[in-house]
Amino acid sequence: MKRLFIAISLLLSFQLAGAQTQSKAVTDAIAGVDKAKAALENPKKAVKPASWISLGEAYVKAFQAPSAGIIYASKPQVMMMLGNVPPVSSEMRVLSGVQYQADVYPEFTLYYDASGMLVIIEVTKPAYSDIDPLAEAVKAFVKAGELETKEKGLEKIKGQLENVSSLYFNDGSVMFNLGRYADASDDFMKCVDIAALDIIGKVDTLSIFNAGFTAYMANDTVRAVDMLEKCVELGYFVDGDVYARLGELYLGKGDVQKGKAIFEEGFKLFPANQGLIIGLINYYLDTKENPDKLFELIAEAKANEPTNASLYYVEGDVYKGLGDVQKALDCYYQSYEIDNNYHYGLFAAGALWYDEAVRVSELAQKEMDNDKYNALVEEFEGYMINAIEPFEKLFNVAVDPEFKRAAAEYLKSINFRFRDRDQKYADAYDKYNNYLNSNN
C-alpha cells in the first residue's frame, strides 16, 4: 500500500521567535479576519473582488497561524525557530507501527522520526474552534470570482483556490499519518470539491482516490465505494489497487458476485497486482468455488505475453494460496527460466520450501508421539535442505543487493542448523555469515 498514497508536505513561510510570538500570530490572524469582514460592511467595498480576496487571504492566514514559521527540518533547526522554548511535554508515540518523538506545545505537537527530522506537525489548538477557516476562505474567493470581470483577476483567484486545496491536501496527509482517516477523507473531499468549482473546472483524480482510500480505512463504506467507483469511471486505477479495494468493499457488503466481478475485471488489466491476487484467492477459498476461471484469466494473460515472467510468478502465488505447493514451485522456477533477470521466482521458491519447513516444525513441537515426532523432524530437515538450491542460485545470479542479502540471510540460518552434520554446511555457514558481516 506504500505506492497507493502520495503525501505532500508544505513548507510554511513565516518566522517564529518563540511560544509567545506563536500566540501573537493567531491573535493577529483573527484580527486580520475581523478587519477584512468589517471592510465588507461598506457597500462600495462589498462589490469589489479585492475585498473578498482580502477576506479569503485572512482566513488562510488564520488556518496557518498556529504553526506559522515551523518548517520540516531537523530538531535543532526547529528549536531555533521556536526560540529554544522547550515543549510542555515530550513522549514517544507510535503511529501506524512507526515510533516518533512527540514534542507537545500549547497549540501544536511536533513529531520527529528516528533520524531527528520533523515529519508531522499536528495543530491541536486552531485559531477557530467553531468554523473551518479554509472553508470560509473558499466562500470568499468564490464570491470574488463572481464579481471579477478580468481574466487576469480570475487567474489570481483560481490560484488562491488551488492554494487552499493544497492546504487541505497537506492537512489530509497529516490526518492520514496520525491515523485519523475520517478527517483525512473529509480533507481530500474538499480538494475534490474545490477542483470541481466552475472557476477551476478540473477533476482531481488523486484526491478522489485519496478520499476513497481513507474512507475505506475509516470504514466509511458508502464514501469509499462512491469515490473508488469514480476512479474506475475516470480510468484512474493506481496499478490495480482501486479494483482491489473496491472488490474487497463489495465482498464486505455481502455482494459477493459484484466483488468477484470487480476482482476479475481488475486482474485482466493488472494481473501482477498482489491485492487482486489475494482477493481472488480468498474468494475461491471462502466460497469453495472452482478456481478454473482464475486460471483461465492467467492463461489468457500468458497467451498475450508469453515471455512475461511475472505472470508465471503470479500463477505460482495463486497455487501457493490454494495450497498446491508443487505446482507453485513449478511456476516459480518457470518464471526464472523464462527470464533469467527475473529473480522473484527463485526467492519465492526458496521461501516456500523454508515456510513449509517452519509449518512442519510447528507441528513437530506439538507432537507427543516419539515416532511421529521424528518423522516430522525428518520432513522439516528435508524442506530446509530443499530451500538451499534456489537460494544459492539466487545469491549467485542476483545483482540487486537486497536479493543477495535476503538469500544470504536464509542460507546462513539453514546451514547453521546442519553445520555439525557435514563440513560443507559449516563452510557454507561461514561463507554467508562473512558476506553479511562485510555488507552491513
Kindly report, residue by residue over 247-305, the tens digit of the pLDDT: 999 999 999 999 999 999 999 999 889 899 889 888 888 888 888 888 888 888 888 88
How many CB atoms within 10 Å of residue 357?
21
Looking at residue 144, its pLDDT comes to: 97
By C-alpha distance, which of 141, 140, 169 is closest to 10? 169
- Cα–Cα separations (whole angstroms), residue 369 to 356, 357, 359, 363, 365: 21, 19, 18, 12, 11
Q: Which residue has the higher pLDDT, 90 or 3?
A: 90
Q: What is the pTM of this model?
A: 0.78
Dump pLDDT digits (tens) for 365-390: 998 999 999 999 999 999 999 999 99
Q: Report the distance separating Cα 280 and Cα 261, nearest Å.
A: 10
DSSP string for residues in 129-172: SSS-HHHHHHHHHHHHHHH--SHHHHHHHHHHHHHHHHHHHHHH
Give the strand pairing for 98-104 and 118-123. Answer: unpaired
User: Has residue 440 got a pLDDT over 80?
Assistant: no
Looking at residue 427, its pLDDT comes to: 95
- Cα–Cα separations (whole angstroms), residue 209 to 175, 184, 231, 235, 273: 16, 12, 6, 11, 17
User: Has residue 17 got a pLDDT over 90?
Assistant: no
Q: What is the mean pLDDT of residues 144-170?
A: 96
Q: Report the distance separating Cα 350 and Cα 347, nearest Å.
A: 5
By C-alpha distance, which of 342, 257, 328 is closest to 298? 328
Q: Please list, in sequence order, all residues whose beta carbon lies within 8 angstroms of the beta carbon of residue 356, skipping any fewer than 6 positions away.
A: 325, 383
Share of the chain above pLDDT 70, in %: 95
Looking at residue 426, its pLDDT comes to: 95
Q: Which residue has the higher pLDDT, 204 or 282?
A: 204
Give residue for cell 472553508. Answer: 135
Looking at residue 84, its pLDDT comes to: 86
Long-range (24+ apart) CB contacts under 8 A made by 336-344 are 336/309, 338/307, 338/308, 338/309, 338/312, 339/307, 339/309, 340/397, 342/309, 342/310, 342/313, 343/394, 343/397, 343/398, 343/400, 343/403, 344/310, 344/313
By C-alpha distance, which of 363, 422, 413 is closest to 388? 413
User: Has residue 227 got a pLDDT over 80?
Assistant: yes
Q: Report the distance separating Cα 137 and Cα 134, nearest Å.
A: 5
Domain-wise residue ranges, the chain:
343-438
Residue 221 contacts residue 249 (beta carbons within 8 Å) = yes
Looking at residue 6, its pLDDT comes to: 36
Dump pLDDT digits (tens) for 40-79: 999 999 999 999 999 999 999 999 999 988 989 898 999 8
Within 13 Å of residue 106, how many CA atoms lie on the same side as its CB? 12
Residue 150 grid coordinates:
478580468
Q: What is the mean pLDDT of residues 32-38?
A: 97
User: Has residue 80 got a pLDDT over 90?
Assistant: no
Helix (H, G, I), strand (E, B) or coil at 421: coil
User: Has residue 141 got a pLDDT over 60?
Assistant: yes
Looking at residue 3, its pLDDT comes to: 40
Helix (H, G, I), strand (E, B) or coil at 110: strand
Dump pLDDT digits (tens) for 314-368: 999 999 988 999 999 999 999 999 999 999 999 999 999 999 999 999 999 998 9
Residue 130 grid coordinates:
467553531
Q: Report the distance separating Cα 3 and Cα 21, nearest Å.
A: 39
Q: Report the distance separating Cα 236 and Cα 266, nearest Å.
A: 12
Looking at residue 8, its pLDDT comes to: 30
